[in-house]
Amino acid sequence: MHLSRLPACLFSVSMLVMLSISSGIAGEAFFSKDGKTVTMGLNNVLTGLVQVEIETGKITQAPLPTEIKDEGIDSVARGGDGEALFLAKDAVWVWTPKAVKRIYATTPVAGATDLFVATLPGTPLTDCLFVSGNEKDAADAGYNLGSFYGRKPGSKSKAFASIFCRRVRDATGGVFSDDGRLFFSSGGDLWEGGIQVEEDPSMERLGTLVAARIAPLAISNTDEGNGGGMWINHVAPAGNWIYLQLRGRHMAALMRTPMPAKPLYAPGEGEFPTVKDQIHAMTDSLTKTQIIADDLGDIFGFCATEVAGKPRLFFCTRTEAEGKGPAMLLWEGEGPARIIGYLPTE
- Identify the pLDDT of residue 146: 60
Q: Tell me how far CA of residue 223 lies from CA of 181, 226, 253, in angstroms.
A: 38, 6, 19
Q: What is the Cα–Cα distance from 332 to 40, expressed in whole angstroms?
A: 19
- Under DSSP, is residue 239 helix (H, G, I), strand (E, B) or coil? coil
CA atoms within 13 Å, Cβ hemisphere of 297: 8
CA Rg value for the chain: 19
Q: What is the Cα–Cα distance from 184 to 322, expressed in whole angstroms?
A: 38
Confidence of residue 142 (pLDDT cuts 50, 70, 90): low
Q: How far is CA 313 from the centre of its chain?
A: 14
Using the Cα atoms of residue 143, residue 144, residue 145 and residue 147 in order, give the sign of their dihedral. Answer: negative
Q: What is the Cα–Cα distance from 123 to 164, expressed in whole angstroms?
A: 19
The domains of the chain, with CATH numbers, are 3-341 (2.120.10.60)
Q: What is the Cα–Cα distance from 127 to 116, expressed in whole angstroms?
A: 10
∠ CA 218-207-160, rounded to 5°: 90
Q: Which of 232, 234, 190 is nearest to 213 (CA)?
A: 190
- Identify the pLDDT of residue 182: 95
In the predicted model, what is the mean pLDDT of the chain?
84
Pairing mode of beta strands 91-95, 84-88? antiparallel
What is the per-residue pLDDT across 168-180, written as a single tens digit (0 to 9) for each? 778 888 999 988 9
Sequence-ordered list of residues with C-beta below 8 angstroms from that of 303, at least 6 positions apart, any chain = 25, 27, 28, 29, 30, 31, 38, 40, 234, 236, 313, 314, 315
Q: What average pLDDT does the segment 277-305 reach?
A: 93
CB 166 within 8 A of CB 147: no
Q: What average pLDDT does the segment 124-129 reach?
A: 87
CA atoms within 13 Å, Cβ hemisphere of 71: 20
State residue 8 phi and psi, 5-degree precision. Answer: -60, -25
- Under DSSP, is residue 241 helix (H, G, I), strand (E, B) or coil? strand
- Under DSSP, is residue 286 helix (H, G, I), strand (E, B) or coil? helix
Q: What is the Cα–Cα distance from 178 to 24, expressed in whole angstroms?
A: 8
CB 89 within 8 A of CB 70: no
Residue 341 or residue 26, greater confidence: 341
Q: What is the Cα–Cα distance from 47 to 5, expressed in whole angstroms?
A: 29
Q: What is the Cα–Cα distance from 233 to 228, expressed in whole angstroms?
A: 15
Residue 225 or residue 118, greater confidence: 118
Q: What is the Cα–Cα distance from 16 to 216, expressed in whole angstroms?
A: 39
Confidence of residue 20 (pLDDT cuts 50, 70, 90): very low
Q: How far is CA 268 from the centre of its chain?
A: 25
Number of separate helices (H) and strands (E) present in the chain: 2, 24
Sequence-ordered list of residues with C-beta below 8 angstroms from that of 278, at least 6 positions apart, any chain = 212, 213, 264
DSSP letter at 213 equals E
Confidence of residue 293 (pLDDT cuts 50, 70, 90): very high
Confidence of residue 83 (pLDDT cuts 50, 70, 90): confident
- Identify the pLDDT of residue 110: 83
- Identify the pLDDT of residue 201: 65
- Answering whether pTM is above 0.85, one says yes
Confidence of residue 16 (pLDDT cuts 50, 70, 90): very low
- Identify the pLDDT of residue 91: 93
pLDDT at residue 245 is higher than 50: yes
